[in-house]
C-alpha cells in the first residue's frame, strides 16, 4: 500500500507519506499548473518523476470574462491514473476551476445572491453547484469570493457579497458549507461536494479608483473590522483553502505578506488549510518591484505563507535551492506539504481519485437545480420603485417588452461561468410570452431604438429592459462612470416622453447610477445578472407570481462622484459631511427594497437593559404584513457602540431575518447580540467588547428608525 489505510487519522496518514517524500516530490505538491495539450507528454513525464500538487482547468488568466474549456472526464482520469499508478508515491492530483455561481446550472451572481438575504438559499445553490462540479471529476472551486466592496467602479463587485462585513460573513460561511458540505465523522468531505476557497485574501476590493489590481491603502483597524470578518467566518466554517490576492496592500503585496498570511490568517485565525496564490501572483512580486527575480519571489511568497503557487513556476525552479541553502527551512516546506496532503486526504481523494464513479454527469442540469436557480433569482431581485404599476396583469392590453436586454441571453448568466450552454437562458420576451401566451406582447429587434419606440407607442404599458453586459464587469473590467451604458438614458427619456406607464428592469452586475432613470419610470426592478432562469424569474416578479423581497447588499450611489458611499461610515468630528452640488446620501441605501405588500415593524423590546460582557442582549420586534398579499420582509438589526476607544461606524448590521408573512399575519422576531456581535478589533488590533451604552435600531433597511438602547456593564 503506497499510503496508510483510511482508518487511520488524517494526521497519521499525512506524516506517514511525508516521511517518505523526497525534496523534489515535496516541492511538486506546492505547485498548481495548467496542462496545455501541446505540453501534455512533457508534463506527464514530470508527474511520473515527482508527482504534482494540482492542475487548474481554466486556460485563461481572465477566466471570468471569457468562456474556458474544462478538461473532459477522460482527460482528468488519464492524468490522475498516471499520478496514482506511475509515480513513486501515487499521490493524487487536485483539479480546480472557478465555479463562482454555478457549473452548468447558473445561479444569480454572488452579489445578487447576497441581495436575497437568505444564507440557506445560498448554501443550497452552492451545494447544487458542487454536485454538478464533482460529477465532472473536478475537486476544487476557487470560490466563494468574499471581498468587501464599496466601489461599484470595480468590476469584481459582482463576484462578492457587497459592502457589509456581517452580511458578507453570513454569506461566506453559507457558501463554504454549501460547497464542502458537513464533514463526515472522520472529518472528510463527502462525495458530491468540492473543496472551497476563500478569496481574495485580503483587501482586494479596496483598489484605489475602483481599478482592478490597484493598490489598496487601508488601516489595520479597517482591515480587521471591515475586510477580515468574512474570511474569519469562512475559516470558522472550515474552508479548506484560501487564495492570496494580486494587489499591494499597505505597502506589501498580499501574496508576499507574512503579516497577512501567517501572523493573521494561520496563527491568529488558526487556518489549517492551504494557501494558494492567485494566478501568477508569486512571480508578479517582481512586477510589484519587491522581488528582483523569481528566486527572491519564491523565497518571499513561500516564507510569507503561500503554500501552493498557481501557474507561475518560481517554486518549481527555486524552492529546492532555497531549502538546500537553508534560506527556506525544511520545517516550513513540510508545513506547506502537510497542508496540501491534509486537504487531499480530507477530500477523500486517495479513495475517490477518479471521476465517473459517483454519478458521472448525472448531476448536471437537474430540474431541481434549475428550479432552485429560478427561485433564488426571483428572491434576489430588488424592487426599487413602484407606483402601483407592478405587478402587471397579463390582460393589461398591449405590453411592449423592449430595450437592449429584452432579447438578450448571454448577459443574463453574468460573468464567471465556465462550460455553460451559452444559449441556455431564455430571453425576457420569450419568458413573458411563454408565461402568458394570450397576452399581447410587442417587442422590437435589439439595437433598433426606432422600432422600440414604435412598439412602445403602440402599447398600453412598457417593460423596458436595460442594463450592462456581463463583459463590462468581472475581473479587470472597471468603469469610471457608473451610469448605464451609452444610449440607454436617451432611450429612457424617449420612451418616457410617450406618456405610457413604464416598468424598467435593470440587468446589471454592479450598482448603476439610476438617478435619471428612476424619475422617468413608474416602476424599477433590479434584476442583477440572474442566471440560467433569469428571464423566467423576471417574468415571475413582473407579473406577480413572486412578490419581490430582495434588499440591496450594497449602496446605490447617485453618481460616481459620491464613491465611496456606504451606510457603515464613521461619525465625524465637525458638521456632517456635505457636497454643495448633491446630497451625500446614496440614491438607494444598503438594505433597501420594496414589496407588493407592506409591513409594519414595531413593539421593540430590548432585554436585558444592562448586560455583562459575556451575556447576550435579546432584541425583539413584531413584524406584520399590513398589505393584501403574502410577502417576505427582511428585518434588519443595526447597532451603534455609543462611545468606544477607536472610532466606529454610525451603525452596523448585526442581525437579519427574512420572514414570509400572509396578509394580516404578525410574528415576533428576536435577534441575540453577544460578544461576537458587539465586540470589535480595538487598540492594538485586539478583539474587545468595551463597557458602555449601545443603541439598536430595527427596520427594513439601513435607515431603520425604531430605536432602543442597552448598556454593557463591566
Ligand atoms: C483569476 C482570478 C481568481 C481566479 C484565478 C483562477 O485571475 O483573480 O479569482 O480564481 O485567476 O482562474
Q: What is the pLDDT of residues 534-570, one digit of tens each?
A: 999 999 999 999 999 999 999 999 999 999 999 999 9
**CA quadruple 546, 549, 552, 557: dihedral positive or negative?**
positive
The CB of 58 under 6 Å from ligand 1? The reply is yes
Question: Beta strands 398-402 and 461-467: pairing type?
Answer: parallel
For ligand 1, the distance from its centroid to the CA atom of residue 371, given in whole angstroms, is 29
Catalytic residue among 118, 278, 419, 641: 278
CA–CA dist 255, 161 (Å, integer): 22
Host H or E run for residue 372: helix 367-380
Burial (CB < 10 A; 0-12, 13-18, 19+), residue 487, is exposed
Q: Whose CA is nearest to atom 10 of ligand 1?
A: 142
Sheet architecture: strand order including 599-607: 599-607, 617-625, 666-673
Choose which residue among 33, 60, 63 to substitute to test ligand 1 binding: the one with the highest number of ligand atoms within 8 A of its C-beta: 63
Q: Is 303 a catalytic residue?
A: no
pTM of the model: 0.97
> In the block, which residue shows the cell 483598489?
207
Least confident of 54-63, 132-141, 686-695: 54-63
* Nearest C-alpha neighbor of 401 from the set 435, 441, 430, 436: 441
* pLDDT band of 418, cuts 50, 70, 90: confident
- Write the DSSP string, 47-93: HHHH--SEEE----TTGGGS--PPPPHHHHHHHHHHHHHHSSS-PPP
The DSSP code sequence of 129-172 is HHHHHHTTT--EE---B------TTSGGGGGS--S-HHHHHHHH
Band of residue 278 on the pLDDT scale cut at 50, 70, 90: very high
The dihedral built from the CA positions of residue 388, 392, 393 and 396, taken in this order, carries a sign that is positive
The residue to which cell 410577502 is assigned: 631
CB of residue 199 inside a 6 A radius of ligand 1: yes
Ligand 1: centre distance to CA 59 (Å) = 11
482-534, pLDDT tens digit by residue?
A: 999 999 999 999 999 999 999 999 999 999 999 999 999 999 999 999 999 99
Average of per-residue pLDDT values in the chain: 95
Residue with cell 416622453: 497
Report CA(310)–ligand 1 centroid distance (Å): 9
Tell me the three state secondary structure of residue 120.
helix
DSSP one-letter code for 267: I
Using alpha carbons only, give the angle 84, 85, 87 rounded to the nearest 5 degrees. Answer: 80
Contacts of 139 (CB under 8 A, 6+ apart): 94, 95, 96, 194, 195, 347, 349
Strand partners of residue 640: 695
Residue 538 vs residue 58, higher pLDDT? 538
Pairwise CA distance, residues 402 & 333, whole Å: 60
**Separation between Cα atoms, residue 240 and residue 187, nearest integer Å:** 11
Q: Which of 59, 60, 61, when mutated, tests ligand 1's pocket best, judged by the most ligand atoms within 8 Å of its CB?
A: 61
* Torsion angle defined by CA atoms of residues 558, 560, 564 and 565, in that order, rounded to the nearest 10 degrees: 0
Q: Is the CB of 63 under 6 A from ligand 1?
A: yes
Residues 148, 163: contact at Cβ < 8 Å?
yes
Question: Rounded to a whole number, what is the distance in angstroms from the first to the last CA of the chain?
Answer: 59
**What does the alpha-carbon distance between residue 648 and residue 631 come to, in Å, rounded to a whole number?**
34
Rg (CA), the chain: 26
Tell me the longest C-alpha to C-alpha distance in the chain: 80
**What are the cell numbers at 631?**
410577502
3-state SS of 195-256? ECEEEEECCHHHCHHHCCCCCECCCHHHHHHHHCHHHHHHHHCCCCEEEECCCEECCEEHHH
Residue 268 has pLDDT above 60, yes or no: yes
Q: Which atom of ligand 1 is nearest to the CA of 63?
A: 12
Ligand 1 centre to CA of 243 (Å) is 9
Instruction: List, for residues 190-239, the tens digit of each pLDDT value.
Output: 989 999 999 999 999 999 999 999 999 999 999 999 999 999 999 999 99
Q: How confident is the model at residue 58 (pLDDT cuts 50, 70, 90)?
A: confident
Q: Which residues contact 251 (CB under 8 A, 6 or more apart)?
A: none
Residues 6+ apart with CB under 8 A from 467: 404, 405, 408, 411, 484, 505, 506, 507, 508, 512, 527
Paired sense of beta strands 248-249 and 252-253, if any: antiparallel
Position 59 pLDDT exceeds 90: no
Ligand 1 site, residue 568, Cβ cutoff 6 A: no
Per-residue model confidence (pLDDT) at position 1: 47
Whether the pLDDT of residue 446 is over 90: the answer is no
278 lines ligand 1 (CB under 6 A): yes
Q: Say whether pLDDT at 270 is over 60.
A: yes
Please state, in angstroms and rounded to a whole number, the distance separating the CA atoms of residues 667 and 670.
10
In the chain, how many H helices and how many E strands?
21, 26
Nearest alpha-carbon partner for 79 in 51, 121, 110, 99: 51
CA dist 270 to 107, 239, 273, 447, Å?
32, 12, 9, 54
Ligand 1: residue whose CA is nearest its atom 6 = 279
Distances from the Cα of 237 to the Cα of 122, 189, 269, 305, 625, angstroms: 14, 13, 12, 21, 34
Could you give the CA distance from residue 590 to residue 592 in angstroms, rounded to a whole number?
6
Task: Provide the pLDDT for residue 185.
Answer: 84
Residue 362 in this model has a pLDDT that exceeds 90: no
Q: Please write the tens of the pLDDT for every residue from 114-162.
A: 999 999 999 999 999 999 999 888 999 999 999 999 999 999 999 999 9
Least confident of 38-52, 204-218, 280-294, 415-429: 415-429
pLDDT for the residue 489: 97
Query: Residue 309: what pLDDT?
Result: 98
For residue 142 and ligand 1, the question of a CB distance below 6 A is answered with yes
pLDDT digits (tens, 9 = 90+) for 98-109: 999 998 899 999
Residue 359 has pLDDT above 80, yes or no: no
Atom of ligand 1 nearest to the CA of 60: 12
Question: Cβ(159) to ligand 1 under 6 A?
Answer: no
Element (DSSP H or E) covering residue 298? helix 294-304
CA of 58 to the centre of ligand 1 (A): 9
Closest alpha carbon to 263 in 213, 230, 236, 228: 228
Residues 281-311 pLDDT 10s: 999 999 999 999 999 999 999 999 999 999 9
Looking at the DSSP bridge assignments, the partners of residue 535 are none
C-alpha 63 – ligand 1 centre gap (Å): 7
> Does any ligand 1 atom lie closer than 6 A to the CB of residue 475?
yes
Amino acid at each position: 500500500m503506497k499510503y496508510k489505510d483510511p482508518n487511520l487519522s488524517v494526521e497519521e496518514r499525512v506524516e506517514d507519506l511525508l516521511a517518505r517524500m523526497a525534496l523534489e516530490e515535496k516541492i511538486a505538491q506546492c505547485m498548481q499548473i495548467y496542462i496545455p495539450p501541446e505540453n501534455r507528454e512533457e508534463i506527464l513525464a514530470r508527474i511520473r518523476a515527482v508527482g504534482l500538487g494540482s492542475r487548474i482547468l481554466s486556460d485563461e488568466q481572465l477566466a471570468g470574462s471569457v468562456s474556458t474549456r474544462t478538461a473532459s472526464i477522460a482527460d482528468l482520469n488519464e492524468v490522475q491514473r498516471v499520478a496514482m499508478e506511475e509515480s513513486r508515491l501515487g499521490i493524487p492530483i487536485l483539479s480546480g476551476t472557478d465555479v463562482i455561481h454555478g457549473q452548468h446550472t447558473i445561479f444569480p451572481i454572488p452579489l445578487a445572491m447576497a441581495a436575497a438575504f437568505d444564507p440557506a438559499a445560498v448554501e443550497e445553490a452552492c451545494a447544487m453547484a458542487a454536485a454538478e462540479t464533482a460529477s465532472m471529476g473536478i475537486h476544487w472551486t476557487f470560490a466563494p469570493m468574499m471581498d468587501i466592496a464599496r466601489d461599484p467602479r470595480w468590476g469584481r463587485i459582482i463576484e462578492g457579497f457587497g459592502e457589509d462585513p456581517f452580511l458578507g460573513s453570513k454569506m461566506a460561511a453559507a457558501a463554504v458549507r454549501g460547497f464542502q458540505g458537513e464533514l463526515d465523522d472522520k472529518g472528510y468531505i463527502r462525495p458530491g461536494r468540492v473543496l472551497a476557497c476563500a478569496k481574495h485574501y485580503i483587501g482586494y476590493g479596496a483598489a484605489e479608483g475602483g481599478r482592478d489590481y490597484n493598490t489598496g491603502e487601508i488601516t489595520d483597524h479597517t482591515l480587521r473590522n471591515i475586510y477580515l470578518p468574512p474570511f474569519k467566518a469562512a475559516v470558522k466554517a472550515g474552508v479548506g483553502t484560501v487564495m492570496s490576492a494580486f494587489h499591494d496592500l499597505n505597502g506589501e503585496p498580499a501574496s508576499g505578506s507574512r503579516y497577512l498570511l501567517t501572523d493573521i490568517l494561520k496563527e491568529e485565525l488558526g487556518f489549517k488549510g492551504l494557501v494558494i496564490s492567485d494566478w501568477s501572483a508569486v512571480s508578479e512580486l517582481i512586477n510589484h518591484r519587491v522581488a528582483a527575480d523569481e528566486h527572491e519571489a519564491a523565497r518571499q511568497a513561500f516564507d510569507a505563507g503561500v503554500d501552493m503557487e498557481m501557474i507561475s513556476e518560481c517554486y518549481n525552479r527555486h524552492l529546492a535551492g532555497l531549502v538546500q541553502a537553508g534560506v527556506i527551512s525544511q520545517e516550513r516546506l513540510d508545513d506547506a506539504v502537510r497542508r496540501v496532503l491534509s486537504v487531499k486526504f480530507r477530500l477523500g481523494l486517495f479513495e475517490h481519485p477518479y471521476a465517473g464513479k459517483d454519478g458521472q454527469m448525472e448531476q448536471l442540469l437537474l430540474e431541481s437545480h434549475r428550479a432552485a436557480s429560478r427561485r433564488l433569482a426571483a428572491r434576489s431581485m430588488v424592487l426599487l420603485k413602484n407606483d402601483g404599476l407592478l405587478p402587471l396583469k397579463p390582460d393589461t392590453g398591449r405590453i411592449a417588452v423592449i430595450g437592449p436586454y429584452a432579447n438578450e441571453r448571454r448577459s443574463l448568466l453574468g460573468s464567471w461561468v465556465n462550460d455553460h450552454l451559452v444559449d441556455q437562458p431564455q430571453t425576457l420576451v420569450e419568458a413573458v410570452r411563454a408565461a402568458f401566451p394570450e397576452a399581447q406582447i410587442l417587442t422590437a429587434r435589439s439595437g433598433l431604438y426606432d422600432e422600440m419606440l414604435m412598439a412602445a407607442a403602440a402599447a398600453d404599458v412598457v417593460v423596458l429592459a436595460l442594463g450592462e453586459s456581463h463583459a463590462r464587469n468581472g475581473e479587470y473590467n472597471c468603469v469610471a462612470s457608473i451610469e448605464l451604458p451609452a444610449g440607454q438614458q436617451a432611450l429612457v427619456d424617449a420612451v418616457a416622453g410617450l406618456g405610457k406607464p413604464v416598468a424598467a428592469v435593470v440587468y446589471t452586475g454592479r450598482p448603476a447610477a439610476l438617478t435619471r432613470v428612476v424619475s422617468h419610470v413608474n416602476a424599477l426592478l433590479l434584476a442583477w445578472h440572474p442566471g440560467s432562469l433569469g428571464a423566467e424569474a423576471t417574468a415571475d416578479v413582473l407579473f406577480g407570481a413572486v412578490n419581490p423581497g430582495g434588499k440591496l447588499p450594497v449602496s446605490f450611489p447617485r453618481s460616481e462622484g459620491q464613491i465611496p458611499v456606504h451606510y457603515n461610515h464613521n461619525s465625524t468630528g465637525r458638521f456632517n459631511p456635505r457636497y454643495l452640488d448633491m446630497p451625500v446620501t446614496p440614491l438607494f441605501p444598503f438594505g433597501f427594497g420594496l414589496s407588493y405588500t407592506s409591513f409594519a415593524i414595531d413593539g421593540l423590546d430590548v432585554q436585558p437593559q444592562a448586560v455583562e460582557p459575556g451575556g447576550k442582549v435579546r432584541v425583539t420586534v413584531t413584524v406584520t404584513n399590513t398589505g393584501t398579499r403574502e410577502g417576505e420582509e427582511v428585518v434588519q438589526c443595526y447597532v451603534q457602540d455609543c462611545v468606544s476607544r477607536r472610532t466606529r461606524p454610525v451603525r452596523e448590521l448585526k442581525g437579519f431575518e427574512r420572514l414570509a408573512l400572509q396578509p394580516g399575519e404578525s410574528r415576533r422576531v428576536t435577534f441575540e447580540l453577544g460578544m461576537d456581535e458587539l465586540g470589535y478589533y480595538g487598540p492594538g488590533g485586539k478583539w474587545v467588547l468595551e463597557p458602555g451604552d449601545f443603541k439598536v435600531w430595527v427596520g427594513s433597511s439601513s435607515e431603520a428608525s425604531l430605536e432602543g438602547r442597552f448598556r454593557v456593564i463591566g
